[in-house]
Amino acid sequence: MILIRCPYCGELRTEDELTYGGEANIARPAETVSDEAWTDYLFMRTNPKGIHQEQWCCSAGCGQWFKVVRDTVSHRILDVWKFEEVSQAAEEVA
Amino acid sequence: MTTHGYRLPSGGRIDRTRTIAFEFNGRRLSGHPGDTLASALMANGVDIIGRSFKYRRPRGLYGAGVEDPNSMVAVRDAYGYEPALRAGQVRLGDGMQAWSVRGWPSAVFDVGGGVQLVSGLLNAGFYYKTFKWPSWSWFEPWIRRATGFGCPQAVDENRKVHHRHATYDVLIVGGGPAGLATARSLIGSGLRVFLAEDQPQLGGSLNWEAALIDGQSGSAWAASMARTLAEDSHTTILTSTTVTGAYENDHFVLVQSFWDDRGVHTECLWKLRAHHVVLATGMIERPLLFPDNDRPGIMLSGTVRRMINEFGVAPARRMAIYTNNDSGYLTALAAYRAGMAIAAVVDTRSAEAAMHATLSKEMGIPCLFDAQIQATAGYRRLATITVRQVSAVTKIACDGLAVSGGFSPCVHLAGHRGSKPVYDPTCGAFVPGDVPERWHVVGGVKATLDLSATFADAGAVAHTIRAGRGGLGSAHSPRVDVLSLGTGAIPTQPSVGSSSRMWVDFQNDVKASDIELAAREGYVAIEHLKRYTTLGMGTDQGRTSNVVGLSLLAALTNRTLSEVGTTTFRPPYTAIRLGTIANARRGDLFKPRRLFPTHGVHENRSAVFEDFGWERPDWYRSNANEREAAVALEMAAVRNHVGVFDASSLGKIEVTGPDAAKFLSRFYVSNLMTLKPERVRYSVMLKEDGVIFDDGVVSCLSDNHFLASPTSGNAEAVAAWFERWRQTEWPTMQVAISPVTANWTSIALAGPLARALLARLQPDFDISNDAFPHMQIREGTVGGVSARVARISFTGELQFEVSVQARYASSLLSTVLTAEGDLEPRPVGLEAWLRLRLEKGYLHVGSDTNGRTTPLDIGMGGIVAKRQDDFIGKRSLKLAFATSSEREQLVGLRALDGSLEVGGRILSRGHTQVPCPTEGYVTSACFSPSVGESIGLALIQRGHTRDGEVVKVFCGGTPISCRISNPIFYDPTNQRLQA
Ligand SMILES: [Zn+2]
């Protein structure tokens, strides 16, 4: 079971106290984009084997959404940061 | 029945002073405390425990514990019933009843035994091939009746269950010599250590192997270790506890069983985290492949030693041993010391390689080298083996055969964490490869056969763990004098003989010939082989058979075992009772009941409740004793005078702040920027894919203060949806979201006399039709308390929804229902309410919409077209899927003959009989008293263009005729709700 420390309330939360929100940093396009760009936004995800930036919510705690860098193979949490912050680890991966 | 197994006059860890009575397949038998069901059956001479899965071969005990692929039994003890356990897993209890799970009508005389004659039909890929040709349906009834692992019984369990959560510094999995020595060396380190052992007592193989440690027997040493550890305040020891799964972040699931003389009375499911993990799970013996290697009487070599030394049971009168490694000689010695007759040791190796051969020779045990078993014979039980050597073929009479093909480490838990086992050719075994951080592997699980080496290993691991915590405590180094298991065994290729008589996976009846066939047909990837042949599937998970099957496939495809690899290990290691996982979450405790604040008032009116997430009145016995009559009266009340409906579960989300209108507009199809104070607007909201997610009204209380009313079922989801977008996409918007559903109670007054009823509550504002028109909201005082009153309608009648703080709810509802005079307000339940809305053609999200329905499909295309700015899901409505002319669209249906039913399929044009293609279905239906017809809503392809068309709808088992119509059946010009 995945453990993540919420960057807002500071509590170490277990997976069942959290809500997974899928891949992070998916930009919502304007409604003027092509059908293809829109359906990419709707459905296409990187789905990597390895380092993945994703959204989680401290849903049974403080209710805040935050971002996480997780290794999808080992489930190791490499970084956790608030929406208004920038992740050092995420920068390095990018 | 002839008896082969028997109780030895002495030995074992059983309590011979007491006798336990039990039943097997209706026969009354007895055993002793300390027995497992397996050892007790063996002591009673029971040869056949069940029939095999596909070919109905008679099968006997093969292994002493969970590794046994054969001895599946259903067991009833004093506390419950389990349909599929291995006999070796079950501690014998007084009055216990056990049955063979395969074999009908009985395991010994099995009508399905004829399957052996047609066994050619059931080879590898049988299911896949049968699905394609000739026809699965030919085989299905026969297969379904003949296969399976026992039947569940719907009985109340008396077993207690509880769950525990814990965190420890060190988890040691396995209480054999490796685990005990590691735990002993961690004493004094200050670390909190948790040791889990799946057997009832610590010691593992020391309980039956002939070892001498620190001058005492292995079992005595284990007992003294157990005492030392029990005295240590930092060490927790759990026996009868299986670690069933390892998960990320070193989270483990353990199942602890509590036994007494009558069975398992309690199970505890542990969810445990550990910083360090010591894997000391040991290993399981492998079989050898030879023709008819599955006859009752043939079993694993170590099982024979265990039966003799732990349970005081001789598995046979005259034992032979077949081995490719030194451990077979330990079995010969154990049997010899127990006074059993030994027919021969058959060794696949040459004389020079067999290190214990001289020992056996000195005791007069015949040893055959460079030898293979080429045949076995016996009716219902082994009687002879035929051994082939270079220059001779010998037939040997024996009723038991101990088999050892080497050892397979129990690497499963590391595998659960994605650690791939690697093949070590020097010891002939798959050992854990790269294990997760802070995992340590000790003893048999890394194929260490030598006890001194295991103890040295345990000391080193304990040292590493201690070093990370300041290095307190000291190593403990037991002195060992033990007959070693010798060297590891390279998996041996099958002996001579027909591969279609050699069983690899006993539980799934997979033969060497099946693996050959799969390889010929190209199923050479190990995961494909598994699924094609069913090798290693089911509850057995190939504990004994995997490596045997892998080495066969490797030889057939000229690859090494490393190249072939293993299949994926998944939790759980052994089956867990579903009741143990469920714990208290069953029956009335499955989830909390949510009661309205007014629940008692509804009870006083004899409401019949249904659980819709909330306990809601479905109808009222105070109206009529029978549901249909009550619903009719409740509907009539709303249509003719006034009905009172508790709408408290309706979602209520307050959205406040300067950007509130702009924020809400981004969620709804309708523009809410133009919504003025005291006004209410109905709309739907979509997900980004354009599909309808929810509907409801939004009220503007003041410029910066809105109230959204999602449906009851989505109240929480919509609030979470709003909050997610606010935080993650639009963090700069000045808006606050407050879900207040449970803070308010809403009572709807509906009907021509609704205004008169509201007037009785003396609102401090004008409620006349001119001052307070339809689709508006007022805040004020009603019945002496502050209230919000919305004039909206779900029924098509004049309707006021009065919301007050939850604590005033009962008082308000009672006051309304007891209004005196000619009003005669009636309580109205959910069923009447939904039929009233159906008469009016109002859709019910989730019933009249599905996971594909867009606002264009429900007639809201005009509103969508008017929107200039963006909203969630808008762009998807321009995609080809949404604009297709073939879409199912919501329409009304009127039955011309028969009655409409929810789920009834609309037959495609030109068809009058089923089976035929269909083009939609009925989403809501009822008989409408107001219209006097059976009416419904339906999603029908191109429905909006087909008004007036007569279609056939399959209802009540027959196609009926219906006319497609406007969905508003009642008061289509909205005269009544404007009144
Ligand atoms: Zn938090």
pLDDT digits (tens, 9 = 90+) for B888-907: 999 999 999 999 999 999 99
Using the mean position of ligand 1's atoms as its centre, give its distance from the Cα of residue A62 in Å.
Answer: 4
Tell me, yes or no, if the pTM score tops 0.80: yes
| Domains of chain B (ranges, CATH numbers) | 1-152 (3.10.20.440), 160-284+409-482 (3.50.50.60), 287-405 (3.50.50.60), 496-556 (1.10.10.1100), 600-610+633-649+744-836 (3.30.1360.120), 653-739 (3.30.70.1400), 885-979 (2.40.30.110)
Using the mean position of ligand 1's atoms as its centre, give its distance from the Cα of residue B747 in Å.
Answer: 36
Q: Which of A31, A39, A64 shows the shortest C-beta gap to B870?
A: A31
What pLDDT is recorded for position B488? 59
More confident site: B177 or B151: B177
Using the mean position of ligand 1's atoms as its centre, give its distance from the Cα of residue A18 in Å.
Answer: 9
pLDDT digits (tens, 9 = 90+) for B810-832: 999 999 999 888 898 999 999 99
Rounded CA separation B330/B426 (Å) = 21
pLDDT at A43 over 90: yes
Using the mean position of ligand 1's atoms as its centre, give its distance from the Cα of residue A3 in Å.
Answer: 12
Chain A nearest CA to B346, separation (Å): 47
pLDDT at B139 over 80: no
Rounded CA separation B534/B515 (Å) = 10
Strand residue runs (E) in B239-358: 241-247, 251-260, 263-279, 283-285, 298-300, 313-314, 318-323, 341-347
Task: Give yes or no for B729 touching A (CB within 8 A).
Answer: yes
Task: Give yes or no for B884 touching A (CB within 8 A).
Answer: no
What pLDDT is recorded for position B112? 47
At residue B486 the predicted structure's pLDDT band, cuts being 50, 70 and 90, is low
- Please give the average per-residue pLDDT across B432-460, as a whole number: 93
Using the mean position of ligand 1's atoms as its centre, give its distance from the Cα of residue A61 in Å.
Answer: 5
Q: Which of B799, B786, B772, B781 is nearest to B647 (CA)?
A: B799
Contacts of B688 in chain A (CB under 8 A): 41-42
pLDDT at B331 over 90: yes
Contacts of B878 in chain A (CB under 8 A): 35
- Please give the average per-residue pLDDT across B70-87, as a whole number: 91
In the sheet that B799-805 helps form, which strands lie side by side, from edge to edge? B776-782, B785-791, B799-805, B744-750, B643-646, B826-827
CB contact under 8 A, A73 and B728: no
DSSP-derived 3-state class of residue B132 = helix
What pLDDT is recorded for position B291? 94
Task: Give yes or no for B688 touching A (CB within 8 A).
Answer: yes
CB contact under 8 A, A74 and B418: yes
Architecture of domain A3-93 in this structure: 2-Layer Sandwich (3.30)
CB contact under 8 A, A35 and B688: no
Task: Give yes or no for B862 touching A (CB within 8 A).
Answer: no
What pLDDT is recorded for position B128? 67
| Class of residue B154 by CB neighbours under 10 A (exposed 0-12, middle 13-18, buried 19+) | exposed
Q: Which of A3, A31, A57 shows the shortest C-beta gap to B875?
A: A31
pLDDT at A72 over 90: yes
At residue B201 the predicted structure's pLDDT band, cuts being 50, 70 and 90, is very high
Question: Residue A88: what residue type?
Answer: Q
* Percent of all residues in chain B with a pLDDT value above 70, rounded to a whole number: 92
User: Are A93 and A35 in contact, with CB atoms under 8 Å apart?
Assistant: no
Contacts of A41 in chain B (CB under 8 A): 688
Residue ranges covered by each domain of chain A: 3-93
Question: Which residue does chain A place closest to B725, by CA atoms?
Answer: A65
Best residue in B165, B167, B248 to probe A by mutation, most A CBs within 10 Å?
B248
In the predicted model, what is the mean pLDDT of chain B? 91
pLDDT digits (tens, 9 = 90+) for B28-61: 999 999 999 999 999 999 999 988 878 888 999 9
pLDDT digits (tens, 9 = 90+) for B835-870: 999 999 999 999 999 999 999 999 999 999 999 999
Question: Which residue does chain A place closest to B876, by CA atoms?
Answer: A38
What pLDDT is recorded for position B105? 44
Which residues 608-627 of chain B have a CB within 8 Å of chain A?
A: none
Q: Which of B514, B516, B532, B520 is nearest to B121 (CA)?
A: B514
pLDDT digits (tens, 9 = 90+) for B610-632: 999 999 999 999 999 999 999 99
Question: Which residue does chain A place closest to B689, by CA atoms?
Answer: A42
What pLDDT is recorded for position B495? 73
